[in-house]
Structure 1
Amino acid sequence: MIHLLKVLVKKIAKQSNITVIPCLLIYFSLDRLLLYLIFLNFARDKQYVLGTISIINIMKPTNLLLFPIIILCSFTSVKEIPPYKNPALPVDERVKDLLGRMTIEEKFWQTYMMPGELDKGKDRFSHGIFGFQVSTIGTSNPELKQLLQYNPKLTAKEMAKKINEIQRYFVEETRLGIPIIAFDEALHGLIRGGATAFPQSIALAATFDTALVRQVSHAIAMETKTRGIRQILSPVVNLATDVRWGRTEETYGEDPYLSACMGVNFVRSFEEMGVITTPKHFAANSGDGGRDSNPIHFTERFLEETHLVPFKACFQKGQSQSVMTAYNMLDGTPCTANPWLLIDKLRNEWGFDGFTIADADAVGIIHKLHHTVNNFSEAGADAINGGLDVIFQTTYDEHRPFLQACLDGLVKEEALDRAVGQVLKAKFHLGLFEHPYIDENEAEKWNACSAHRKLALEAARRSIVLLKNENRVLPLSKQVKRIALIGQDAAQARLGGYSGPGVDKVSILDGLKNRLGDRAIIRYEEGCKRINPEYLTVPTYYLSTLDGLPGLEGRYFNNISYEGVPDLKRIDKRIQFSWTLFAPDSCLAVDWFSVEWNGKLKSPVSGTYRLGLEGNDGYQLTVDGKVLVDKPYKTSFGHTLVPFTFEKGKEYDIRIRFYENTKNARIRFVWDVDTKNEDQSIEQAVQAARESEIAIVVVGIEEGEFRDRGYLALPGRQEELIRRVAATGKTTVVVLIGGSAVVMSEWQDQVPAVLNAWYPGVEGGNAVADVLFGDYNPSGKLPITYPIHEAQLPLNYSHKPTGRSDDYLNLTGEPLFPFGHGLSYSEFDYSGLKVTKAVHGTAFHVTFSVKNTGKYAANEVVQLYLRDQVASVTQPIMRLIHFQPVSLAPRETKELHFTVNEKDLSMLDKELNRVIEPGDFRLMIGRSCKDIRLKTTLTINHPMTLETNH
């Protein structure tokens, strides 16, 4: 029998023209014989697989004659596997083989990512796709206010199941079986229902604890990967150099070194777990005035010294395998199609070997906003030819002009192959071809588990910054019996931008109740809202066309004089438009149109109220044939409301006219009906404070994407609320909720204590309560500078020397609170500074001692700054080069160590070579960049070149 088998194997091997080694493994089990044939294929271009042959009672003479037939039939199941599916081959060979099999359409789709899934028909994705942001709806929003809408209801297990189903289609039903990469946002927790929401990124930076950030990112990575998501569009490692920027909350602050340390430790956990990270937005996307994505004109030197530092560290130290480009232009070229940035710098100089993706709709913006190309097809070609690998658009239909650019040859063949090759390489490295599916039960096990919730509490505690504590008002006595808790944010538990809904969020009100139980009476009053507008948009409910349909009829003209036949007629439900980037319709010019709305307004009230328009001038409001508002000349943006006496139920004829002759059209039809008078609620809060021993006022800011702040004062009537409560004479503690700086000149001197809790995550309320009552000693430090006034901005501690003083005629140049600032319930003594040179190289060992002189256990963040005393190119007045958190028991002393290495001492010379120049360097050790406790000078005698600029 064995001889017969050998003959058959040799015959088949000869016919197949391959070399095989047959192995016969025989297992006897009662009356059953299992025969396994294994062919070890040493041919590099083919692989054959033969399954298991099961023969029942094969030893019986009657069945022995069937054996050759069974053997021959079994070879009909032998399948040839293409090299790209052979995991034994090098990834580059697999990529090359797969590229050679792909059509142009299949190649293009590997360069296209979008939100969505297969619910609208899977056949349209028969060519494959890079990947989906699953359970997300993308919109083509002309106002660009919200491009993506996330489904918060899908559980972790349901999402894992959905991703498996989608993956199964692409792996098993498309021609080449290329798996997708499911991607999502995970800035400080996966932006999904059922995921743990940790403190916001700026809060994590305030811990100055890279080990803690590593733990947090590991937890997020577990919750991410177990759902089947293999790429996150995080972290944000842009520098928050101007705190007016609405996305400051998403960053790790203003300092390049701190941001690099935090970014590296965040990405490492994901990359080690097989989830691709995507540092963003490359590069420098906060422009003049702190405005998001405004033009950037930075020099290469300035970029290398500041904004590029965290990105380079994430790629070279953190091994990030992707990067997202920014919306803004850099030196005249959009970042999304910038060869200097994406090819020369990123790939050639830094050695980046991952793939680049555009921000959502950023490729289209090359045409629509930057105007460097004529159409969307040219935009796609410009991007891919310029170094972009993946186009991220928000809808399926938007792919067409970009695909056409590939079909028409606008995209160079080598550029397309490069882009597709980088994507395929990533998919091979992730193991998606061999292991495309995940265990759906694992997602349920890890998402929002108790261990992650405990970690969220610890991170929240560590992030809280004690800004002010006069007369040691904090911690509060645990004997307090009556507390007034005031403010909208005390009950809301906001999580910040790019957050999921959170699971069982703990507000500060909840936290105080959890902490105090029945031992104290907590009286909560809202006081006022963060925003209480003095007027509102007139709702659709009160508007109707002449035909009785909801809204007003709009007649749009391609002129500014409302003349001729309208180019567009439509019913607009309400008049609230911000056509700041696009025209109202494709048939109109963005900078030359007019519109007239007509219809009826039905009054819901009787009495005198204000009615009017808000916009960038060029508007007119007529009611019952009488012109109430008329601002015909374009000058600025503002609002005009006039008193108008309404009768309840009466209908009024309305005509609104508006024209635009430049760009940035904005118009609203507004009134002050239904606005809330907060006088009574503020008085109730003040009365609650009078009747309590302690008043805790929780206030917050509004910020985020598309929400840069011109003013840094607390919005609404919150500052008035603080002053009124403080005026009662009761001890008043202010807790700040937000992700950026606020100015405090109107109230700071009236309160003894201020805590910055940032957006502290799902356990934030418990963390704040722990700090307020001394169960946790605050140790957070500011990763940004707080200005006294907006006029000081941008205000950064590590600026270059000025030609004159930092002061204004009527304002100091000093900050309100400096970078690195953060008080404790303890005090610390710094002593014993010693610096010794290493035996080899240019490194120096720095040792010193820190003593906790207080009665509370404490965590202190020790900060080491350096200043190059004399250099051939101007250097920062000081810069952070190391930091270290240290835990100290009461009265405990610890010796700490820093190593000042060659990189710390280096600079970019006039040719942008990284060098060390001979001379003196000032070392400064302290609790902040202003609170310096120890200083010394070290001297370098010989020059050294570390890197040359190629």
Structure 2
Amino acid sequence: MKQSCVLSFIYMLAGWFVFSSPVSAQSIPAYKNKNIPIPERVKDLLSRMTAEEKFFQLFMIPGEINKGEEEKYKHGLFGFQVSAGSSDDNAAQQLLKYNTHENAANLAKKINAIQRYFVEQTRLGIPMIPFDEALHGLVREGATVFPQSIGLAASWNTKLMEQVADAIADEAAVRGIRQVLSPVINIATDVRWGRTEETYGEDPFLSAKMGTAFIRSFEQKNIITTPKHFIANVGDGGRDSYPVYFNERILQEIHYPPFIDAIKKGGARSIMTSYNSVDGSPATANKKILTETLKNQWGFDGFVISDASAVGGANVLHYTAKDYADAGKQAISNGLDVVFQTQIDHYKLFIPPFLDGSIPQQRIDDAVARVLTAKFQLGLFEQPYVDEQMAADNSYKTAHQLLAKKAALESIVLLKNIKNTLPLSKNIRSIALIGADATEARLGGYSGAGNEKVSILHGLQTLLPKTKVIYSEGVARKEQHYTVIPATVLSHRNGNQKINGLKGVYYSNIDLSGTPVLERTDKNVDFHWTLYGPDQQLPNDFYSVSWTGNLHAPISGHFNIGLEGNDGFRLYLDNKLIIDQWEKKSYHTRLAPVQLQKDKEYTIRVEFKETNGNAHIKLIWDRDVENKDANKIKQAINIAKGADAVIIVAGIEEGEFRDRASLQLPGLQEKLISELTKTGKKIIVVLIGGSAVNMTNWIDKVDAIIEAWYPGEQGGHAIASVLMGDYNPSGKLPITFPLSEAQLPLVYNHAPTGRGDDYNNLSGQPLFPFGFGLSYTDFQFSDLNIPKVSLKKGDSCLVSCTITNTGKSEGDEVVQLYIRDILSSVSQPVMQLKGFERIHLKAGESRKVYFNILPEHLSLFNADMNKVIESGSFRLMIGSSSRDIRLKGNLLVE
């Protein structure tokens, strides 16, 4: 009750409540009068704003107001992703820290201090919007981390999603966060995409339902959501932000539906664009999708923001703008409202067209009005500050941790269970638990630090105090063949002084010419500059660096020395060029053999250039690298031989900037599994990750497989409960698991092929289909009832069936409704999900499940791209997965 009262008070203050003031309405500007309708307040405020003030309402960044830099913010700002990093850090570096080092009370205090400057020190007192990431938990210290989005989608439970979103919104509100850059409602059409984990899967209907549930919870609490990335930011081969060449039909049928529901059913007030181009035009400046479709056709009246640094991408990546100013002009003119950059000083790049008339004034005013409308709706003009004392109250913590466990339980998918290997008996004497992921408790991308996150090892030990759980690290997810050369063997001289590390000389060009922008000592060469450059004086996408000094040989012998990176690089040893890859290629590791003599110093020079952004460069060698994996496998085998059961926890590597060409388990994890199967013990594999895994080489050798995704901070307890039978797994796959990468892209709702769908040496059948998931009990589907054999166009039909738990355990089943248009004027998918219901049944219990088939479920886009319902028959299919259909019937539309 205390929590409910506190949060209700916050929302009342944040939304509409203001203390009475002795100042009369006539003595204050109209825009400050809360009794005047918002459109009139917006109009009044707009009329008072200078061109500079308008620009800064369309400019957002991460960071904070550093001491002595207040003047830069005198015209205001759209908002801040208030950083938990040091104010001395590059703002983008602060952003990439995911802001996990600031507790709720301190964050609220910092936000209030920044807000006070904008309200009290700027000319018009326009408050800023504090925003943050909240994909599956607010990315802040002390915030609860729930299962990753793909795991939440695997629950197929929109009510659970609403509860999770409510909890995240509450934790955002107490800290003063008023906008979240979530959720991701892109369609994961290719599981090689590294950001599949952030999505709700491959299906538009499921993604729309889960995304809308998330959005509605936030918007009802007056926190702005920003569904992203608009639109279709996974290109050929599952590569993030690669160009897409989709016709209007593909966009309308596959990629637009979640965004339409986000706006019209969820009430989303902001949209974030994607980095990619759509049919040759950058999404940030694409008039067709931003203005004609989003704003005009759909009637979206919120504001559109870019992804971080995406507007400049038109210049440096898409080559459709001559410079940053031109890129900004194109973006705003074509429908973008807010430019999201990573540093305040970037305003200089984008402000010129706002001042010289290059952008139509009507378009600028429209964009500013959209932002101001949101700020009035948030109540920021009446109550810009958050209650710092309330922020310190974490009484919600226990309830949210219980919810995190519940969400993890419902997300877990049982993929294989031969001869009822699972659940294990609680009387089991010993368990061998093998794999680094058994102790790491990884949370997935865009996560906070978590609160006392629970590993699988801890979960099992807590649940089974009398069972001996023996842990072995197993093999790493990445084989280590080399290491970064350390500062202890690198040096350079400054006069007579010898300094550990190399001298780094940085240039604002790509040919190491002219006067350097920066000189400094770098301890070693091990850098990954993503959204930012090496220094604030350098851009993120156009510079070169030279590192020089000496390499001290610690021993005599044969070495392999080299560079790892994704742009142009060269390596000289004793002034001899030993590696030359000056022209940009994809990510490469280049090594050269050298013979070194102990205690001798060799001159070394590394040259590097960056032309596109997202720089990687490492100076590496194979000194002190030995293959420890063989010994770790032997250790794991010895432990397994003495145990009653073996649980292998295996994981994948993925994420932003980390698309996967191979879906196999990385490193030597497959070898570890294969060797352990030779022990003759029961082998259970628990998978940690956010996407599909190629299991061809080992699936037939193991007894049980669980997909646990990234299960959140309470994941260890949830996985233990499933393994030991305290909870009956009931998650269903929101993506298709292929047999092989050669099948990709592979989705269940594909169009008819015209002929076969197999290669001559590979089946078109998936390893595990969309919607698949086993249980410890069995469910029978019966009594399909279609009360109306025929419908008139525009009518709805309530269809029902009976589900019976015929097993011995209580459990959940996700009942899935698919529809196929049997004959249509344009080719339609072989099947499409149009309904689902998660139900709980005790052993022997039966329940009716109802699906209301609406006109929209039977509609299509005809040859003229008009949405219509055509006469004819529709096949209704109800089942436990897209490949396990238990009931079928037909519905005729007259």
**Residue 149 (structure 2) pairs with residue 196 (structure 1):** no
**What letter matches 1:740 in structure 2?**
S
2:208 equivalent among 242, 254, 260: 260
Q: Corresponding residue for 1:479?
A: 427
**What letter matches 1:424 in structure 2?**
L
Distance 1:472 1:265 in 2: 35
**Residue 41 (structure 2) pairs with residue 94 (structure 1):** yes
Q: Corresponding residue for 2:625?
A: 675
Q: Corresponding residue for 1:11?
A: none
**What letter matches 1:865 in structure 2?**
Y
Distance 1:257 1:161 in 2: 41
1:767 equivalent among 704, 708, 718: 718
Q: Does the 8 Å contact 2:314/2:320 carry over to 1? A: yes
Determine helix, strand or coil for the equivalent of 1:362: coil
Determine helix, strand or coil for the equivalent of 2:129: coil
Determine helix, strand or coil for the equivalent of 1:729: coil
Where do residues 611-630 of structure 1 align in structure 2 (5 Å cutoff)? 611-614=561-564, 621-624=571-574
1:910 equivalent among 863, 874, 894: 863
Shift of 1:549: 3.9
**Residue 295 (structure 2) pairs with residue 347 (structure 1):** yes
Q: Corresponding residue for 2:7?
A: none
Distance 1:145 1:104 in 2: 30
Q: Corresponding residue for 2:878?
A: 925
Q: Corresponding residue for 1:163?
A: 111
Distance 2:797 2:581 in 1: 68
Where do residues 127-166 of structure 1 align in structure 2 (5 Å cutoff)? 127-136=75-84, 148-166=96-114
**Residue 54 (structure 2) pairs with residue 107 (structure 1):** yes
Q: Report Cα offsets for 1:360-412 as digits up to 9, x if no partner.
A: 11112222212211111112221111111111111110011222221122222
Q: Corresponding residue for 2:11?
A: none
**Residue 338 (structure 2) pairs with residue 390 (structure 1):** yes
Q: Report Cα offsets for 1:447-486 as digits up to 9, x if no partner.
A: 7511111111100000000011111100001110111111
Where do residues 708-723 of structure 1 align in structure 2 (5 Å cutoff)? 708-723=659-674
Q: Does the 8 Å contact 1:553/1:569 carry over to 2? A: no
**Residue 891 (structure 2) pairs with residue 938 (structure 1):** yes
Q: Residue 866 and residue 177 in structure 1: after superposition, are their counterparts in 2 closer, same or farther (change >3 A)?
A: same
Shift of 1:919: 1.2
Q: Residue 81 and residue 628 in structure 1: after superposition, are their counterparts in 2 closer, same or farther (change >3 A)?
A: closer
Q: Corresponding residue for 1:172?
A: 120
Shift of 1:685: 1.3
2:480 equivalent among 522, 533, 539: 533
Q: Report Cα offsets for 1:701-739 as digits up to 9, x if no partner.
A: 111111111111111111111111221111110000111
Distance 2:396 2:131 in 1: 19
**What letter matches 1:353 in structure 2?**
D
Q: Residue 843 and residue 541 in structure 1: after superposition, are their counterparts in 2 closer, same or farther (change >3 A)?
A: same
Q: Corresponding residue for 1:601?
A: 551
Distance 1:609 1:289 in 2: 36
Q: Does the 8 Å contact 1:591/1:660 carry over to 2? A: yes
**What letter matches 2:294 in structure 1?**
L
Q: Corresponding residue for 1:286?
A: 234
Q: Corresponding residue for 2:693?
A: 742
**Residue 837 (structure 2) pairs with residue 887 (structure 1):** no
Distance 1:583 1:819 in 2: 41
Q: Which moved more, 1:477-486 or 1:799-808?
A: 799-808
Q: Which moved more, 1:77-86 or 1:149-158?
A: 77-86
Q: Corresponding residue for 1:789?
A: 740
Distance 1:83 1:590 in 2: 43
Q: Does the 8 Å contact 1:777/1:857 carry over to 2? A: yes
Q: Residue 224 and residue 814 in structure 1: after superposition, are their counterparts in 2 closer, same or farther (change >3 A)?
A: same
Q: Residue 365 and residue 834 in structure 1: after superposition, are their counterparts in 2 closer, same or farther (change >3 A)?
A: same
Query: TM-score w.r.t. structure 1 length?
Result: 0.86
Where do residues 583-662 of structure 1 align in structure 2 (5 Å cutoff)? 598-614=548-564, 621-624=571-574, 638-655=588-605
Q: Does the 8 Å contact 2:191/2:238 carry over to 1? A: yes
Q: Residue 349 and residue 137 in structure 1: after superposition, are their counterparts in 2 closer, same or farther (change >3 A)?
A: farther
Q: Which moved more, 1:376-385 or 1:492-501?
A: 376-385
Determine helix, strand or coil for the equivalent of 2:464: helix
Q: Does the 8 Å contact 2:227/2:259 carry over to 1? A: yes
Distance 1:90 1:431 in 2: 13
Q: Residue 233 and residue 374 in structure 1: after superposition, are their counterparts in 2 closer, same or farther (change >3 A)?
A: same
Distance 1:160 1:391 in 2: 25
Q: Does the 8 Å contact 2:505/2:546 carry over to 1? A: yes
**Residue 763 (structure 2) pairs with residue 812 (structure 1):** yes
Q: Corresponding residue for 1:18?
A: none
Determine helix, strand or coil for the equivalent of 1:150: coil
Q: Report Cα offsets for 1:490-530 as digits up to 9, x if no partner.
A: 0011111000000110110110011011x111111101121
**What letter matches 1:922 in structure 2?**
R
Q: Corresponding residue for 2:412?
A: 464
The number of residue pairs the alignment matches comes to 867
Q: Which moved more, 1:189-198 or 1:428-437?
A: 428-437
Q: Which moved more, 1:264-273 or 1:725-734?
A: 725-734
**Residue 256 (structure 2) pairs with residue 305 (structure 1):** no
Query: TM-score w.r.t. structure 2 length?
Result: 0.91
Q: Residue 390 and residue 138 in structure 1: after superposition, are their counterparts in 2 closer, same or farther (change >3 A)?
A: farther
Q: Residue 742 and residue 431 in structure 1: after superposition, are their counterparts in 2 closer, same or farther (change >3 A)?
A: same
Q: Corresponding residue for 1:899?
A: 852
**Residue 396 (structure 2) pairs with residue 444 (structure 1):** no
Shift of 1:150: 3.3
**Residue 776 (structure 2) pairs with residue 825 (structure 1):** yes
Q: Does the 8 Å contact 1:506/1:762 carry over to 2? A: yes
Q: Corresponding residue for 2:376?
A: 428
Q: Report Cα offsets for 1:152-204 as digits up to 9, x if no partner.
A: 22111221222222222222332222111111110011000010101110000
Q: Does the 8 Å contact 1:786/1:818 carry over to 2? A: yes
Calculate the aligned-residue CA RMSD, in Å: 3.2
1:378 equivalent among 319, 326, 333: 326
Q: Which moved more, 1:570-579 or 1:696-705?
A: 570-579
Shift of 1:616: 7.0
Distance 1:173 1:658 in 2: 44
Q: Which moved more, 1:833-842 or 1:719-728?
A: 833-842
Q: Residue 498 and residue 415 in structure 1: after superposition, are their counterparts in 2 closer, same or farther (change >3 A)?
A: same
Q: Corresponding residue for 2:3?
A: none
Distance 2:443 2:508 in 1: 44
Q: Does the 8 Å contact 1:601/1:651 carry over to 2? A: yes
Q: Residue 575 and residue 174 in structure 1: after superposition, are their counterparts in 2 closer, same or farther (change >3 A)?
A: closer
Distance 2:580 2:21 in 1: 84
Where do residues 8-19 of structure 1 align in structure 2 (5 Å cutoff)? none
Distance 2:136 2:386 in 1: 23
Q: Corresponding residue for 1:245?
A: 193
1:236 equivalent among 177, 181, 184: 184
Q: Does the 8 Å contact 1:711/1:790 carry over to 2? A: yes
Q: Residue 416 and residue 665 in structure 1: after superposition, are their counterparts in 2 closer, same or farther (change >3 A)?
A: closer
Distance 2:470 2:828 in 1: 53
Distance 1:713 1:111 in 2: 44
Q: Corresponding residue for 1:31?
A: none
Identity of aligned residues (%): 53
Q: Residue 590 and residue 803 in structure 1: after superposition, are their counterparts in 2 closer, same or farther (change >3 A)?
A: farther
Determine helix, strand or coil for the equivalent of 1:927: strand
Query: Structure 1: which 5+ residue stretches go unaligned?
Result: 1-48, 52-74, 942-950
Q: Does the 8 Å contact 1:867/1:922 carry over to 2? A: yes
1:867 equivalent among 803, 816, 820: 820
2:681 equivalent among 730, 733, 750: 730
Determine helix, strand or coil for the equivalent of 1:363: coil
Where do residues 64-83 of structure 1 align in structure 2 (5 Å cutoff)? 80-83=27-30
Q: Residue 448 and residue 487 in structure 1: after superposition, are their counterparts in 2 closer, same or farther (change >3 A)?
A: farther
Q: Does the 8 Å contact 1:280/1:325 carry over to 2? A: yes
**What letter matches 1:673 in structure 2?**
R
Determine helix, strand or coil for the equivalent of 2:315: helix
Q: Does the 8 Å contact 2:316/2:612 carry over to 1? A: no
Q: Corresponding residue for 2:653?
A: 702
1:119 equivalent among 66, 73, 76: 66
Q: Which moved more, 1:174-183 or 1:881-890?
A: 174-183
Q: Corresponding residue for 1:223?
A: 171
**Residue 153 (structure 2) pairs with residue 205 (structure 1):** yes
**What letter matches 1:730 in structure 2?**
K
Q: Does the 8 Å contact 2:185/2:207 carry over to 1? A: yes
Q: Corresponding residue for 1:688?
A: 639
Shift of 1:621: 4.8
